[in-house]
Amino acid sequence: MKWITRERPKIDRIACPWLIKRFIDPEAEIIYVPFQEVLPQAEQLKATPFDIPGVEYTHYEGKCTFDYFLKKHRLNDPALNRMAAIIRGADTDRHDFAPQAAGLEAIFAGLADNIRDDHHLLDMGMTIYDGLYTWAKHLHHLKHTQAGPAEQMLLEIFNRYIRNKDNPKTPDWVMELRSLIQDQIDTNFSLTLKDLSKDLDVNPSYVSREFSKYFDNLSYGDYIRKLRIERSITLLKTSSYSLTEVAYLTGFSDQSHFTRIFKQQMGETPSEFKKKLLKGKKDSNS
């Protein structure tokens, strides 16, 4: 049987041929053509089109074509269902579906950029999906460190080491992050850890988990609020801005939000702080 889809395949248009050849039709012929030629060529070659809009084998309700193949051909293999979540996440840019989705997308993006021949790319993809199926069938419950007791022992030693607060070594990303925050805090109050992590090229989940170790035992949000309050104190001391203006200039949504956070950190309201400053100036001039 012939199957046809658009050229330059990546994730789903390689996963589906792999599924066809491994579980539906081992002798299947896979044809890749430019998008506008898929339907005319399908009719001429008597081939079944897939993974394009308006045909039976395509995306439905947030699920990709691989999912439809499983449903249509009643392939109730738990390993294939495990793979489907990864493929769906990679193909629809929903990496929250499976932790392996981002890696699969990265692999095929790289392969597609390196390999211009679609059938050569399919051959490489077949090998990759064979490996993914073996993992999903037999190895998905194993962690990378379960090779043996020696490896596990080394991991435990390593974990104890990185949790040691006396460890003087500070990772490079911490120094770079500190610099990024300091550089942008005066002009960009919508800083997010995700955006900063992208600049650092470090996983945001890892940065979030490790952040407090290197930034005064504070979460990212608490640390940014601390910097904003420190800047507000500088403005209160050195400018004639109103409290509303100081709140705006330091990134708070309004004066009441600014007042609440300021009191939490300083033990007094900005108004009380400002009155003390004015009183101190009068006393020094008298």
**Which token pair is 125?**
């993809």
- Radius of gyration over every alpha carbon of the chain, rounded to an integer in angstroms: 29
Cα gap 38→31, rounded to integer Å: 9
Predicted confidence at residue 214, as pLDDT, reads 80
- Residues in the chain predicted with pLDDT less than 50, given as ranges, are 145, 147, 150-151, 153-155, 157-158, 161-163, 165-166, 187-188
Amino acid 187: pLDDT = 47
Q: Residue 177: its pLDDT value, please?
A: 66
Instruction: Give the whole-angstrom CA distance, residue 65 versus residue 71.
Output: 10
Per-residue model confidence (pLDDT) at position 151: 45
Query: What is the pTM for the complete model shown?
Result: 0.53
Residues 6+ apart with CB under 8 A from 268: 262
Pure H helices in 49-148: 65-72, 78-91, 101-114, 118-134
Tell me which amino acid residue 177 is. Answer: L
Instruction: Report the C-alpha gap between 254 and 231 in whole angstroms.
Output: 16
pLDDT, position 216 = 79
CA distance 186 to 266: 21
* 57, 67 contact by CB (below 8 A): no
pLDDT at 199: 65
CA distance 244 to 241: 8
Report pLDDT for 40.
Answer: 97
Query: Rounded to whole angstroms, how far apart are CA atoms 256 and 214?
Result: 30
Three-class SS state of 49: strand
Domains of the chain by start residue, with CATH = 2-139 (no CATH), 150-217 (no CATH), 222-285 (1.10.10.60)
Place of tokens 């925050």: 181
pLDDT at res. 173: 65
Cβ within 8 Å of residue 225, ≥6 positions away: 261, 265
Predicted pLDDT at 208: 78
Q: Give the number of C-alpha atoms closer than 13 A to the C-alpha of residue 162, restricted to the C-beta side.
A: 8
Contact 224, 212 (CB under 8 A): no
Query: What pLDDT is recorded for position 190?
Result: 57
pLDDT reported for residue 255: 85
How high is the pLDDT of residue 85? 93
pLDDT score recorded for residue 128: 94
Per-residue pLDDT tens for 187-239? Answer: 445 567 676 677 666 777 777 777 788 887 888 778 888 888 988 899 898 88
pLDDT given for residue 191 in this prediction: 61
